[in-house]
Amino acid sequence: EGVVYAEMRRPCRIMILVNPHSGRGQALQLFTGHVQGMLTEAAVPYTLVITEHQNHARELVRKADLSQCDALVIMSGDGLLFEVINGLMEREDWQEAIQTPLGILPGGSGNALAASVHHYSQSPPAWNEELLLSCGFMLCKGLVSSMDLVSIHLASRQRLFSFLSLAWGFVADVDIESEKYRHVGAIRFLMGTLVRLASLRVYQGRLAYLPVKEAPKLPKGSIKTNQPPSTPQHPSLCSSLPCRLIPNTSPNRNARHNQNSTNSNHNTITNSSNNAITTKRPETQSDGKTRAQEDSLLPGLDQPVPESWTVVKEEDFVLVLAIYQSHLAEDLWTAPGAMADDGVIHLFYVTAGISRPALLRLFLAMEKGGHLACDCPHLVYEKVKALRLEPVSPQGMITVDGEMVEYGPVQAQIHPGLARLICG
Ligand code: ADP
Ligand code: MG
């Protein structure tokens, strides 16, 4: 009997984690008001967990029996997903655990991943409830694609995993200082930006990075390279060739299907007819598995950077921002070409000497992704695989996925496709 049961389709079990204090403190009401009915109608069974304190979600996923869980979804801002990803990576069985599909429902004030996922689905921009409905709909559809993670080393030898950003200077300050305006919602970043502009300062430090080598143009039919193209022809990650899989039919379901910019690969976690689970967690991707065990691109923080790295000449910055999703906030389309699994850290920095109006112009242009077209001589954009930042200014803030981390030297490297993300 047990065997028969195991072969039967079983309902897709989703654990939804809600942070009741995120954003304007309405995540739970937003869930019951907008998402619950949708999931019921689509017959998607879920378990709702309301977090009680910071790191509750992290501890919970570190110990959870994930064989009982087909997806982990967070209804909060980006901070709660940061907890979940690090909880998964702290497990003994992290290689398997990090393959659990992750979903996001915007319930915080910083909903960068939700905005990015919505953008990858090629939908026109959406905010607030509209963005929530879009993400709820994607959850019901249950398409899964791969997502890069970035490992981050801090001076205390702590190693963290990040899905969104590493920031120092202006952006990090706004991230943290604007938390006190959380009750106003996503607009807190604009308020924080204006306040910070008034007290604009320069941050001293050293920056170095390993650039992505742009692939030479190869004639058709030539050997595949692993380099992403310099300008993706398709801005959307999730538009191409969704592959809806039926149970256990595809041994290589996690293989990358395409070699060009549309290298998305979708699996479905729900069945379109009855929303029963149709795929099991895939075999661990050998790709991510080997690369995450060690950070092969990073020497010790006390060692000099390798010769192949570029050392930035300037040492006076207004901001340094490494981002690996398209959006830094709902209305900040920061890395226009970025996709969740492009294998690239999009590194931006602004050097000292920029005027307040010019910096404000950059942030205003960012709403439509137009900041690179501003021709601002202080703004530099590079595609990199790894980077190191060594602050010299004795005071400042560094954030990872919007969360403050220890201030000091920090380095990071990309792990392509290490995690899996529910997106449309
Ligand atoms: P927001 O976008 O509003 O900042 P986040 O999801 O980023 O929302 O959450 C903000 C912070 O709250 C994060 O540091 C997260 O770890 C923490 N947190 C999560 N659950 C709780 C809770 N129940 N009570 C207090 N803080 C929490
Ligand atoms: Mg946050």
The pLDDT tens digits for 246-289 are: 222 233 333 333 333 334 445 545 433 333 333 333 444 444 44
Domain 159-213+295-418: CATH architecture, name and number where available: Sandwich (2.60)
Angle CA(262)–CA(150)–CA(379) in degrees, nearest 5?
Answer: 80
Element (H, E) at 391: strand 379-391
80 pLDDT higher than 70: yes
DSSP assignment of 145-173 = EEEEEEEEEETTS-EEEESSEEEEEHHHH
> Among 72-76, 140-144, 217-221, 333-337, which is the least confidently predicted range?
217-221
Which carries the bigger pLDDT value, residue 20 or residue 234? 20
- The pLDDT value recorded for residue 232 is 35
The pLDDT tens digits for 356-374 are: 999 999 999 999 999 999 9
Cβ atoms of residues 120 and 296 within 8 Å: no
- The pLDDT value recorded for residue 217 is 72
The whole-angstrom separation of Cα 62 and Cα 303 is 32
Protein residue with least CA distance to atom 27, ligand 1:
54
Domain ranges of the chain: 159-213+295-418
- The pLDDT value recorded for residue 294 is 87
Q: State whether residue 294 is helix, strand or coil.
A: coil
405 pLDDT higher than 60: yes
- The pLDDT value recorded for residue 11 is 54
Does ligand 1 come within 6 angstroms of the Cβ of 257?
A: no
Q: Could you tell me what percent of the chain has a pLDDT over 70?
A: 79
Closest ligand (CA of 180)? 1
Give 12's pLDDT tier (boundaries 50, 70, 90): low
The whole-angstrom separation of Cα 263 and Cα 255 is 10
Give 221's pLDDT tier (boundaries 50, 70, 90): low
Ligand 2 midpoint to CA 101 (Å): 21
> Which candidate, 349, 346, 387, places its Cα nearest to that of 168?
349
Cβ-count burial 12-47 (b if 16+ within 10 Å, e if not)? bebbbbbbbbbbbeebbebbeebbeeebeebebebe
Residue identified by tokens 């403050």 is 404
Q: Residue 208, Cβ neighbours under 10 Å: how many?
A: 18
Residue identified by tokens 């959406």 is 126
Give 342's pLDDT tier (boundaries 50, 70, 90): very high
> Among 121-130, 266-275, 379-388, which is the least confidently predicted range?
266-275
The whole-angstrom separation of Cα 78 and Cα 102 is 12
Protein residue with least CA distance to atom 22, ligand 1:
53
244 pLDDT higher than 60: no
Mean pLDDT (whole number) for 221-244: 37
Q: Could you tell me what percent of the chain has a pLDDT over 90?
A: 77
Give 186's pLDDT tier (boundaries 50, 70, 90): confident
Give 10's pLDDT tier (boundaries 50, 70, 90): very low
Q: State whether residue 113 is helix, strand or coil.
A: helix
Protein residue with least CA distance to atom 6, ligand 1:
77
Mean pLDDT (whole number) for 85-96: 98
Does ligand 1 come within 6 angstroms of the Cβ of 51?
A: yes
175 pLDDT higher than 60: yes
Quick check: is 341 catalytic?
no
168 pLDDT higher than 90: yes
- The pLDDT value recorded for residue 417 is 98
What average pLDDT does the structure give for the chain?
85
Q: State whether residue 405 is helix, strand or coil.
A: strand
Cβ atoms of residues 277 and 166 within 8 Å: no
- The pLDDT value recorded for residue 220 is 59
The whole-angstrom separation of Cα 201 and Cα 181 is 21
Ligand 1 midpoint to CA 147 (Å): 22
Partner residues linked to 105 by β-bridges: 75
Ligand 1: residue of 61, 76, 328 to mutate (most ligand atoms within 8 A of CB) is: 76
The whole-angstrom separation of Cα 285 and Cα 91 is 17
Give 236's pLDDT tier (boundaries 50, 70, 90): very low
> Among 4-8, 186-190, 294-298, which is the least confidently predicted range?
4-8
Mean pLDDT (whole number) for 173-192: 93
The pLDDT tens digits for 38-47 are: 999 999 999 9
> Which candidate, 131, 14, 28, places its Cα nearest to that of 64?
14
The whole-angstrom separation of Cα 375 and Cα 61 is 45
- The pLDDT value recorded for residue 344 is 98
